[in-house]
Every structure is written in structure tokens, then in C-alpha cells.
């Protein structure tokens, strides 16, 4: 008995050491399932887009008729307001409901912006009701929205009603720690209803415009074949203009300047854009969108791409200096223009968690083009949506890598015109000239005139000629 107890103690110590070793091994090599993030917390409401507000058109009345009706009903004349001190109300201010002059308007808040009409009893705000012909109301509590901020392309309207059901539910959903943080710094949280009213109409912007600077196609010193060679080395091979100049001189014995090669690229971009944007791609109902950044004189700029996941063709693209909803809408317009009949709710539009895509979809819904945005968030398939649509996000990410490889040699762009030129030529090359493994090492879109060309410079020249025919046909019509 005396010998068994020490043996058991030694055995227990050995087992404890093995357990410790296994725990260390599991911690280093086996990934434990982490606690899922609480995406429903109001702390993340800034990543969400609220639904559209209620729109109320104020009923227009005539203050003279209302004054006459008041005399009939009461037998008394409705006189202007007798003020005891100098009025702070502007003389040009009029009631938006009955058009009563400033003599019939009360200053409700002592110069802070709220007024009341004595004739029709309507309460209005100088900023919200005078500037806008409509009144925006919260869809949850039917309270009028207040203009909070004026941004570059949109105005921010907020519902400040503390009894609003939307605000109350978000406030109750806060944890104790978040509640203390909200009380100390409320600007970090989005608890009130917010609506962004866009002041720029992105649906009337010309999508076919390209910056000036294109040279003439009347070749004096060089032939169209030299232009095709320049584009081949510049776009297909990813060389810079100076490297292209050196290759043409040392391999083809062509003495040309790098600035002339840049002019050729600008001219080609201006021409091929018509063919690229007007080609019948026969798009599917599966689209993927993403934005990537480049450098413009050392400053970040953004390139937006929308790709057809079934055919791999680039349908929409845009270069912008800002990462906001404006260029996102323009890229979507370019992609949706490829549909002969817009699929509407049948469209599967996949993007990341950036809110610009949801805001853009909201604006398209206002123009009778409703569709849903499927957001694939994160790098792992932690939710059913990511598992189902991850492959669409991977397609657009591979396109971004291909694009960055094409412009890497430039180390960024020297001008906005150069950025637009390169993106247009890249899209033309990607859609019509580049061999893809997806299409058995042939171009994504078959064009007989291009396919019959003997070499790549001839294909570039043919693509420019086809684009010129489209431009001429548009001028005739």
C-alpha cells in the first residue's frame, strides 16, 4: 500500500504534464471558434442604410382667403402681429403654406430658426421648409426631419424625436458599456434615423465623356502599325512610355518620343471607349462590384469596377478622386446600360460592406430601377450569405489584382487624364484582346474583325477602326 500511493502521484504528475502540453499545442496550432461579433448592435449602425423617408407635399393655401374666412367665422379682422420690440424675422420671409408675409409670422424660438404662421397656424423651419418644396418625415414616428449637415453632394436630415420608436429600440439595445460610452461621446453612435438627400443628379451625368488631349489620327511620320505596336507594349506588356520608346528604338529601329506614345494612348482611349461602352455583352443577372485604390501624384484615387460573374466581362468602370456614392452610381449606370431589359429584383448584385453600394441602390430605386445588394463581409465564410456568394467576391478581387499589375510599372499616375486613359485601354484589352483561361485562352468577347487579324498591333488598329465607325454613326444620327 505504501508503494502504490507514490506511484499514483507520479502517474498523476505525468498526466498533468501531458495535459499542459496538449493545451499549449491546441492554443498554437488549432484555431478555436471565436465569439461571433454582435453586428446587430447599434454601435455598428453607421454601416447600415436607413429606409427612405416619408414625403409630404405641403398643402398650398392663400392667406388672403384665410383672413376673409376668419372674418366671416368670427366677425373679427385678423390683424398683423403687434411686436413689442424690433423683429428678428427677415422681411422677405413668407409662410410656405399660405404665403403670408413676415407681418403674420411669429418667431417661436427667439432667433433659432423655428416660426409659426398666425394665419394658417403652420409651424415651419426656415432651412427645411423654405428651401425644399417637399417635407421629409421620419418613417417610424412621422416627425419632420431636420437638416443637420450640408455636404458636397448631399444633405443630411435627422429625426431628433426622443420618443421615436427607431431611437428607443436602438437605445435599449445598447449594452451597459456602450451606454456609458454613448453618454460620454454620442457622436460615435448612430441611434437616430438619418436620411441623405443627394443634391447632385448623377443620373444626368454624361458617361461617354473623356478628358481632352487626344491627337489626330492623321499619321504624318509614323503608320497605324507603329501606334498598334506602342499600345501592345504599353498595355499588353505593361511597360511604361519610356520603356516602350526604348523597345521600339532598339528592337524595331523606330525613333519615337515617349510623349508621342502617350498621345497615341490618349487618342486610342478616346476612340475605343465608344466600342467598349456600346458593345452588346449580353450580361447575366450575376454582377460583382468593388473599388480599389491607385496613386495620382502620390495621392490616393479610386477605380470602381463592376464585372459580369458569368462572362467575366467588365461592364462598368469609373475613376474618381473620392470614395463616395457619386462615382459608384456612375459605374452602376454604365453597367446597367448593357441590359436591354433591366432585371430588377432578379439581379444578384454582390459587393462588400461599404455603404456606398446601399446608398446607390436606394437612389436607383427612386428612379424605378429597384434591386437588392448582397453584401459579402469579411474574409471568412462565417454566415450563410458569405458561403453562398463568396465566389462572386473572389472574381472581382482577382480582377483588381490583374488591374494593379497592369499599372504597377507607372508607380501611380501623373495626371487625372492619364488615369482615365489607362483604365479605358485596360478595359478594352481585358474584354476583347486578352486571352483568358476561363474562355480556353481566347478573348472573353468574340469579334470576327479582331479575331481575323494576324497579330496584336493589327488587332488594336482594328479595334480603333470599329470604334470610329460607331462614332461616325452617332454623329450622322
CATH code of residue 333: 3.30.420.10
In a domain, 190, yes or no: yes
> In sequence order, which ranges of 232-382 are alpha helices (DSSP H)?
241-250, 258-278, 325-336, 355-366
In a domain, 450, yes or no: yes
In a domain, 6, yes or no: no
Q: Are residues 190 and 338 in the same domain?
A: no
Q: What is the pLDDT of residue 131?
A: 44
Question: b/e string for 190-227 if b means 16 or more Cβ within 10 A?
Answer: bbbbbbbebeeebeeeeeeebeebbeeeeeeebebbbb
Q: Are residues 393 and 450 in the same domain?
A: yes
Q: Are residues 65 and 149 in the same domain?
A: no
Q: Which three cell numbers stand for residue 337?
A: 446600360
Q: Which three cell numbers stand for residue 174?
A: 445598447
Q: Taking residues 85-107, what's their average pLDDT?
A: 82
Q: Are residues 386 and 420 in the same domain?
A: yes
Q: Are residues 297 and 190 in the same domain?
A: no
In a domain, 205, yes or no: no
Q: What is the pLDDT of residue 134?
A: 66
Q: Taking residues 175-196, what's their average pLDDT?
A: 83
Q: Are residues 89 and 173 in the same domain?
A: no
Q: What is the pLDDT of residue 214?
A: 45
Q: Are residues 87 and 162 in the same domain?
A: no
Q: How many CB atoms lie within 10 A of CB 150?
A: 10
For residues 267 and 350, what is the distance between their CA atoms, to the nearest angstrom? 34
Q: Are residues 123 and 140 in the same domain?
A: no
Q: Tell me the pLDDT of the chain averaged across its residues.
A: 82
Question: b/e string for 116-142 if b means 16 or more Cβ within 10 A?
Answer: bbbbbebebbeebbeeeeebbbbebbe
Q: What is the DSSP string of 409-430?
A: GGTSBSSHHHHHHHHHHHHHII
Q: Taking residues 411-438, what's their average pLDDT?
A: 83
Q: Are residues 163 and 118 in the same domain?
A: no
Domain boundary among 96, 128, 160: 128
Q: What is the pLDDT of residue 395?
A: 92
Tell me which residue range forms the domain holding 63: 58-128
Give per-residue pLDDT as tens, 388-402. 888 988 999 999 888
Q: Which three cell numbers stand for residue 145?
A: 426631419
Give per-residue pLDDT as tens, 192-234. 888 888 776 666 665 555 444 444 555 567 788 888 999 999 8
Domain boundary among 199, 222, 246: 199
In a domain, 339, yes or no: yes
Q: Are residues 288 and 147 in the same domain?
A: no
In a domain, 296, yes or no: yes
Q: Which three cell numbers stand for residue 53?
A: 423617408
Q: Is the pLDDT of residue 99 over 80?
A: yes
Q: Residues 347, 373: contact at Cβ < 8 Å? A: no
Domain boundary among 76, 97, 128: 128
In a domain, 4, yes or no: no
Domain count, the chain: 3
Give per-residue pLDDT as tens, 21-49. 888 877 767 655 544 445 555 656 666 77
Q: Which three cell numbers stand for residue 83?
A: 411686436
Give the lowest-confidence range in 73-82, 186-195, 324-333, 415-424.
415-424
In a domain, 10, yes or no: no
Q: Are residues 344 and 428 in the same domain?
A: yes
Give per-residue pLDDT as tens, 3-23. 777 778 778 888 888 888 888
Q: Which residues neighbour 127 within 8 Å (Cβ) at sequence distance 6 or greater?
A: 113, 147
Q: Are residues 184 and 305 in the same domain?
A: no
Instruction: Report in angstroms the alpha-carbon separations of 362 from 241, 291, 339, 345, 403.
Output: 42, 19, 19, 13, 29
pTM: 0.71
Amino acid at each position: 500500500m505504501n508503494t502504490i500511493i507514490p506511484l499514483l502521484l507520479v502517474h498523476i504528475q505525468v498526466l498533468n504534464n501531458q495535459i499542459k502540453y496538449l493545451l499549449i499545442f491546441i492554443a498554437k496550432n488549432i484555431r478555436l471558434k471565436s465569439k461571433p461579433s454582435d453586428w446587430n448592435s447599434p454601435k455598428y449602425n453607421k454601416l447600415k442604410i436607413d429606409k427612405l423617408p416619408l414625403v409630404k407635399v405641403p398643402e398650398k393655401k392663400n392667406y388672403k382667403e384665410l383672413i376673409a374666412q376668419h372674418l366671416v367665422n368670427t366677425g373679427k379682422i385678423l390683424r398683423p402681429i403687434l411686436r413689442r420690440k424690433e423683429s428678428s424675422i427677415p422681411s422677405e420671409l413668407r409662410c410656405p403654406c399660405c404665403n403670408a408675409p413676415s407681418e403674420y409670422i411669429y418667431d417661436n424660438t427667439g432667433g433659432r430658426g423655428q416660426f409659426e404662421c398666425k394665419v394658417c397656424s403652420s409651424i415651419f423651419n426656415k432651412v427645411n421648409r423654405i428651401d425644399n418644396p417637399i417635407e421629409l418625415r421620419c418613417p417610424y414616428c412621422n416627425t419632420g426631419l431636420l437638416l443637420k449637415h450640408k455636404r458636397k453632394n448631399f444633405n443630411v436630415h435627422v429625426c431628433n424625436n426622443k420618443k421615436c420608436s427607431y431611437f428607443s429600440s436602438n437605445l435599449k439595445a445598447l449594452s451597459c458599456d456602450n451606454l456609458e460610452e454613448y453618454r460620454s461621446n454620442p457622436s460615435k453612435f448612430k441611434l437616430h434615423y438619418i436620411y441623405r438627400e443627394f443634391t447632385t443628379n448623377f443620373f444626368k451625368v454624361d458617361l461617354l465623356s473623356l478628358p481632352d488631349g487626344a491627337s489626330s489620327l492623321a499619321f504624318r511620320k509614323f503608320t497605324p502599325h507603329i501606334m498598334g505596336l506602342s499600345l501592345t507594349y504599353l498595355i499588353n506588356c505593361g511597360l511604361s512610355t519610356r520603356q516602350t520608346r526604348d523597345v521600339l528604338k532598339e528592337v524595331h529601329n523606330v525613333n519615337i518620343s515617349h510623349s508621342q506614345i502617350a498621345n497615341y494612348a490618349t487618342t486610342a482611349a478616346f476612340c475605343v471607349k465608344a466600342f467598349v461602352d456600346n458593345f452588346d455583352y449580353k450580361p447575366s443577372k450575376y454582377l460583382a462590384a468593388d473599388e480599389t485604390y491607385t496613386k495620382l501624384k502620390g495621392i490616393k484615387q479610386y477605380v470602381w469596377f463592376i464585372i459580369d460573374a458569368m462572362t467575366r466581362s467588365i461592364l462598368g468602370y469609373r475613376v474618381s478622386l473620392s470614395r463616395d456614392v457619386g462615382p459608384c452610381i456612375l459605374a452602376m449606370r454604365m453597367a446597367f446600360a448593357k441590359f436591354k431589359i433591366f432585371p430588377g429584383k432578379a439581379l444578384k448584385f454582390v459587393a462588400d460592406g461599404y455603404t456606398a453600394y446601399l446608398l446607390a441602390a436606394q437612389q436607383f430605386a427612386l428612379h424605378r430601377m429597384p434591386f437588392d445588394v448582397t453584401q459579402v463581409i469579411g474574409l471568412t465564410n462565417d454566415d450563410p450569405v458569405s458561403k453562398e456568394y463568396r465566389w462572386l467576391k473572389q472574381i472581382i478581387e482577382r480582377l483588381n489584382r490583374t488591374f494593379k499589375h497592369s499599372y504597377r510599372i507607372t508607380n501611380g499616375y501623373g495626371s487625372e487624364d492619364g488615369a482615365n486613359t489607362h483604365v479605358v485601354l485596360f478595359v478594352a484589352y481585358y474584354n476583347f484582346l486578352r486571352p483568358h483561361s476561363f474562355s480556353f485562352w481566347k478573348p472573353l468577347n468574340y469579334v470576327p474583325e479582331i479575331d481575323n487579324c494576324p497579330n496584336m498591333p493589327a488587332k488594336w488598329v482594328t479595334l480603333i477602326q470599329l470604334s470610329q465607325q460607331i462614332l461616325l454613326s452617332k454623329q450622322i444620327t
